[in-house]
């Protein structure tokens, strides 16, 4: 039995190794890498997707925190000059440091236990990212792509959609992994906007308003934001203060943030 077969998935790293060759090929087809591009794979695991990506790109960086898997990958790709392995925590990695000429293309089977904070960290680096293809828990992708008024719509929906076009591509069942997770997964494509569809001059205020609103999502927007904006101020933004937070679109939150930013500058 090879070293590749003996590595046991570790719960603390949220490891579930993709083994279904049909799904692997489908993911690579969706990414459609080209020979002039620089790719970054987060959490390569045993290199199932890595093996196909490396054949079709100029340079591939993989980020892996598990040192045993790093040793496995170094052995497996010993004579692969266009592969660079980084033994780092993806949550704290400086992705823009890898940029040379073109923007980066990111992909990976993200650990479900850190997927949301990792997505927010990646969005902080979005100016140097062309697109991202991730395997995520289906529930998370549903929230990312949700529209106002739906049960899944929330803080993650607003913050992701403010910065990216979201496209849920296809679902993947538990049987495609070892060990099999208890949930379904979805491949999602995120494309950071070059020109955002809504204007926000102060992203910190925007994030504060969205976070505050959805922390009290069962209340009206008047009550949810009463410590930040008054009823008249909300109406001045052409928003009904009796609506609940999940009824407001990204553009509504952007108007609230712009209003508050102007008030703070006075």
Q: pLDDT truncated to tens, each residue of the chain (266 aa)? A: 344 455 554 444 455 778 899 999 999 999 999 988 999 999 998 899 999 999 888 899 999 999 999 999 999 998 899 999 999 999 999 999 999 888 999 999 888 788 899 999 999 999 999 999 999 999 999 999 999 999 999 999 999 999 999 999 999 999 988 878 888 999 999 999 999 889 899 999 999 999 999 999 999 999 999 999 999 999 999 999 999 999 999 999 999 999 999 888 75
Fold of the domain built from segment(s) 203-265: Helicase, Ruva Protein; domain 3 (1.10.8)
Q: Find out whether 108 and 208 touch, Cβ atoms under 8 Å.
A: no
pTM: 0.89
C-alpha–C-alpha distance, residues 164 and 195, integer Å: 10
Q: Which of 96, 93, 126, 89 has the alpha carbon at shortest distance from 203?
A: 126
C-alpha–C-alpha distance, residues 24 and 29, integer Å: 9
Could you tell me the residue ranges of all domains in the chain? Answer: 3-192, 203-265
Fold of the domain built from segment(s) 3-192: Rossmann fold (3.40.50)
CA atoms within 13 A on the CB side of 138: 10
């Amino acid at each position: 039995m090879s070293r590749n077969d003996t590595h046991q998935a570790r719960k603390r790293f949220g490891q579930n190794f993709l083994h279904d060759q049909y799904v692997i090929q489908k993911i690579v087809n969706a990414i459609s890498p080209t020979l002039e591009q620089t790719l970054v794979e987060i959490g390569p695991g045993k290199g199932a997707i890595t093996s196909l990506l490396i054949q079709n790109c100029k340079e591939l960086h993989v980020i892996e925190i598990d040192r045993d898997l790093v040793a496995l990958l170094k052995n497996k790709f010993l004579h692969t000059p266009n592969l660079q392995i980084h033994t780092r925590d993806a949550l704290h990695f400086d992705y823009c440091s890898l940029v040379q000429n073109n923007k980066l293309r990111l992909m990976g089977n993200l650990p479900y236990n850190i997927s949301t904070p990792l997505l927010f960290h990646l969005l902080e680096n979005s100016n140097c990212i062309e697109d991202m293809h991730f395997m995520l828990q289906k529930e998370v992708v549903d929230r990312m792509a949700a529209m106002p008024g739906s049960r899944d719509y929330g803080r993650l929906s607003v913050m992701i959609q403010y910065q990216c076009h979201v496209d849920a591509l296809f679902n993947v069942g538990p049987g495609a992994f070892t060990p099999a997770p208890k949930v379904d997964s979805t491949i999602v494509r995120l494309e950071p906007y070059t020109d955002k569809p809504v204007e926000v001059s102060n992203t910190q205020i925007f994030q504060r308003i969205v976070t505050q609103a959805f922390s009290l999502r069962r209340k009206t927007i008047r009550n949810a934001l009463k410590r930040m904006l008054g009823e008249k101020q909300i109406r001045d933004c052409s928003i009904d203060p009796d609506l609940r937070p999940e009824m407001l679109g990204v553009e509504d939150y952007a108007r609230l943030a712009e209003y508050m930013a102007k008030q703070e500058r006075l």
